[in-house]
Amino acid sequence: MITKTHFGEVSGKPVEKYTIENQNQTRLSVLTYAGIVQEFSVIDNNERVNLVLSSDRIEGFSENTYNINRVIGRAAGRITKGTWTQDGVTHHVPTNDGENTLHSGPEGVGNQFFVVKSVDEDKNQLQLTYTALESVDGFPGDLDITVTYTLTENDTVDVTFTGHQTKQAGVFNPTVHMYFNLANPGITDLTDHDLFINSDQHLAVNAEKCPTGELIDNAGTPFDLKHHHDLGEILPELKKTTVEQGFDDVFKVPANQDAVAVKVTDRVSGRHVAIHSDRNGIVAFTESQIGNDVKYLNLGESKPWMAVALEAQTLPDSENHPELGDVSIAADETQEYHIQYVYGKYCK
């Protein structure tokens, strides 16, 4: 079943919400503004639990800078100085993070309206499209982007990104900036969560959080989430030992759709979400320095460690560090990427 409702306005334009519900009463709600996942909820112990940080008002998404559950593109992450050279051509794109470009700059996909391409109730599927124009965002060429959301009957959210580039070569490295908190309603931090990341190394970054191209071994550090998962122990340690006071880091993972890249688990309820991706990076961000200024959230007044953003993508700034991956897309080329969010629950 798929339903459509009005969800407020951004800059005078109406926002629509499409809600997919499967036979288990699991729901996926997606907004036409920024492709936002407003709800990924399940019925557990006769109570509906939204697994993602959310809001019942569009202002909870549009009036802050945390990109809550937005589709990000053309390129997720930072591009150093907003500059790179591709096929012998040096490109300069608009900056929005000091001298650097974050999540594709001020006119990136995460700030745009999508058009609904199709609604398929038989497949529990919604397709959204947006054309990123060089004349609007400053990136080379034009890029037709289709985002396909599917809610399966076994409570998995499949996201497929399709990009078709025209005019000249460019870049394509999309993600969903999804924030998770799987706890029972009323629990507003991550201290009862485990976080597994299938990673042996994370990216070194400079003082502006731009990758240097180097990789740091995780073993023996709080970044070894492959072997040590308890955020209730790890986050207080990071608060004392890091500038970020938590995670704002990029982990290298296997680019293997069949493998689990990340798994977040609430130990109290047993609820968990495993993330599968066909790309080699996961950004983990625990919004550890957030104040109480983000309004209208489903978990109440904003505060550190309220949720963890888990962004599956190609390692960022590979435009300048080709050893980190390849996000180039040629003129007249079509590329496709996939993310799966697989819900489950451990028996207690």
Q: What is the pLDDT of residues 13-67, one digit of tens each?
A: 999 999 999 999 999 999 999 999 999 999 999 999 999 999 999 999 999 999 9
| CA atoms of 126 and 15, how far apart (whole Å) | 15
Residue 291: predicted pLDDT: 87
Among 39, 107, 287, 311, the active-site one is: 311
Q: What is the pLDDT of residue 197?
A: 98
AA identity, residue 231? L
**Token pair listed for 128:** 């959204």
Do 40 and 13 contact (CB within 8 A), yes or no?
no
pLDDT for the residue 348:
63
User: What pLDDT shows up at residue 347?
Assistant: 81
Active site annotation includes 311: yes
- Burial of 108 per CB tally in 10 Å (0-12, 13-18, 19+): buried
**Predicted pLDDT at 133:** 98
Below-70 pLDDT ranges, the chain: 348
Structure tokens at 339: 């993310």
Distance of CA 14 to CAs 6, 11, 59, 125, Å? 7, 9, 13, 22
Q: Is the pTM of this model over 0.85?
A: yes
Element (H, E) at 237: helix 231-241
Query: Shortest CA distance to 171 belongs to which of 333, 340, 338?
Result: 333
Active-site residue (options: 91, 103, 177, 276): 177
Strand 334-345 and strand 156-166: the pairing is antiparallel
Main-chain phi, psi angles of 226, to 5 degrees: -75, -25
Tokens representing residue 234 in the block: 């790890």
